[in-house]
Structure 1
Amino acid sequence: MSYITTSDGVHLHFKDVGKGRPVVLIHGWPLTGDMWEKQVIALVDAGYRVITYDRRGFGLSGHPIHCYSYDTLTDDLATLINSLDLYDATLVGFSMGGGEVARYLSRYGTKRIAKAVLLASIVPFLLKTSDNPDGVPESVLDGIKQSIRADRFDFLENFIPSFYGDSSLLRSVSKGVLNWSFSLACMASPMATIDCVDTWGKTDLRPDLQAFTLPTLILHGSADANVPPEFSSKKAAELIPGAIYKEYKGAAHGLFFTHADQVNEDLIEFLSA
């Protein structure tokens, strides 16, 4: 296992495979870097070096009690990039991971980064406010945190199927995928699972979009009930000059698995352009 240590002493677990131009894959809440297995295989086969890592508080990384703001999480990402001395890299952020992409670009610039990808991302701002009236009410986020505190495992067991658009009438992934995803989510610390709800739900990343001065690809599912594109990617596409926006008809939030072939094809096409 490979680890780096952040400036505040947290150990981050990462995997670094393949050769070629680097692609850093940033996972979503509440999973781990292992969620990217279909993308890792496709990218390595296509001739890229692929780096995945577990965000602090998740997976095999250290589990501090607090310290889960996007500034801290982005400093962790910068530590990883600097430690591996990556240049000409592409950052790919899924869901919550899109926030790290945005905040990294605004805090650290594009010296080491060539391209950016936002996949079913929460960028630019989810919370309903006076100047974001179409956002998610704070009461919804509070309800998620209360459910996690009451019974984290019951919450995850019910959340994971909706993540993939699974229901009693529609089976979008196998039971094995649901079990795998549940297992990954259970690896997170309780505090990280709770605190990160405010991070991805309440952080206003609209000012960070000014830093997207590089080629950007945005992919989202039209049937994403967890992060509806109207609240997120459609707005990001309007605010990022020259961004390529593709919406997958009928895809739910977990399109990295349910629509893996299409995601991989679009990703590799974008990387090779």
Structure 2
Amino acid sequence: MTTITTSDGTRIFYKDWGAKDAQPIVFSHGWPLSADAWDAQMVFFANQGFRTIAHDRRSHGRSDQVWADNTMDQYADDLAELIEQLDLHDVVLVGHSTGGGEVTRYVGRHGTARVAKVALIGAVPPLMLKTEANPGGLPIDAFDAIRKGTYDNRSQFFHDLTIPFYGYNREGAVISEGTRLEFWREGMMGGLKGQLDSIRAFSESDFHTDLAKFDVPTLVLHGDDDQIVPIGASALETVKIVKGARLVVYEGADHGLTATHQDRFNADLLDFIRE
């Protein structure tokens, strides 16, 4: 397996496809998945002449399962080490859901010297948790329920989560059992402790300061029927903070739109990158 070893000794698995001298696109996956969630995009963009890279977040997929430091700051630092060890420049950063938080915190902590563009897809910034200052967020009870479901019966919870994740509970939805099984497979590859820690990381991290540091072209793409990361407290707030950000809303689309709207998403992302 291809891995890097971070400064704290954690091995991070990554895939690296396409021409090594091409412009790199680095994909960051959502919770509780792995780099495999981006396979279709990696093949598509590699065939379009890009170098495509995706990693398994620490404690997810094939990366080391660590007890501590499953935090958004550490996720961002791991991403920075991946970019630096592969000596990537002119990078397009693409983050879905929790991966969008990882990418955003990377910019906040490491800047954009190596970054050309950023795409946030169904992403968690600026803050998922409902607070007095963030009344549009989700109550802590919602995240406590995710923690309980993951701890009590992770296998069943991940399988059930696919229904709202992909909008399969909506009228007219065509359910793909293969997609549900793939979500379950990727989720079950990760470590329970790290996945539990990650719930706090994606739900309680405040990205307002990080977003204010964005100074490269940014795409914010979201489904308006996202049942996992509601658009009101995420994308619609993010574009108020990131100067010049482009908002693209998929009407009726779900959280897993990179799969359920794969061709449209790939085309829109390609247009954004090539502009």
Calculate the TM-score normalised by the size of structure 1: 0.98
> Cα RMSD over matched residues?
1.1
| Residues 145-180 of structure 1: CA deviation (Å, up to 9, x unaligned) | 112111111111110222101138544441111111
Farther-moved stretch of structure 1 (43-52 vs 148-157): 148-157
The match for 2:176 is 174
The match for 2:83 is 81
Q: Residue 120 of structure 2 aligns to a residue in which SS?
A: strand
Q: State the shift of 1:13 in Å.
A: 0.4
Separation of aligned partners in 1, 2:157 and 2:245: 35
| Residues 83-106 of structure 1: CA deviation (Å, up to 9, x unaligned) | 000000010000001111111111
Separation of aligned partners in 2, 1:95 and 1:21: 23
Q: Residue 218 of structure 1 aligns to a residue in which SS?
A: strand
Q: Does residue 1:262 correspond to 2:264, yes or no?
A: yes
The match for 1:143 is 145
8 Å CA contact retained: 1:30, 1:185? yes
The match for 2:68 is 66
8 Å CA contact retained: 2:100, 2:123? yes
| Residues 80-133 of structure 1: CA deviation (Å, up to 9, x unaligned) | 000000000010000001111111111111111110000000011111111111
8 Å CA contact retained: 1:172, 1:258? no
Letter in 2 for 1:217: L
Separation of aligned partners in 2, 1:169 and 1:178: 18
The match for 2:214 is 212
Letter in 1 for 2:3: Y
Separation of aligned partners in 2, 1:171 and 1:183: 22
Q: Residue 202 of structure 2 aligns to a residue in which SS?
A: helix
Letter in 2 for 1:3: T
8 Å CA contact retained: 2:158, 2:183? no
Structure 1: gaps of 5 or more residues = none
Separation of aligned partners in 2, 1:167 and 1:111: 43
Alignment partner of 1:40 out of 21, 38, 42: 42
Aligned residues: 273
Separation of aligned partners in 2, 1:147 and 1:181: 16
Separation of aligned partners in 1, 2:66 and 2:77: 15
The match for 1:163 is 165
The match for 1:231 is 233
8 Å CA contact retained: 2:225, 2:254? yes
5 Å matches for 1:112-151?
A: 112-151=114-153
Calculate the TM-score normalised by the size of structure 2: 0.97
Q: Residue 34 of structure 1 aligns to a residue in which SS?
A: helix
Separation of aligned partners in 1, 2:154 and 2:234: 26
Q: State the shift of 1:66 in Å.
A: 2.3
Q: Could you tell me the percent identity over the aligned residues?
A: 38
Separation of aligned partners in 1, 2:83 and 2:214: 18
8 Å CA contact retained: 2:159, 2:183? no
Q: State the shift of 1:260 in Å.
A: 0.8
Structure 2: gaps of 5 or more residues = none
Separation of aligned partners in 2, 1:62 and 1:213: 33
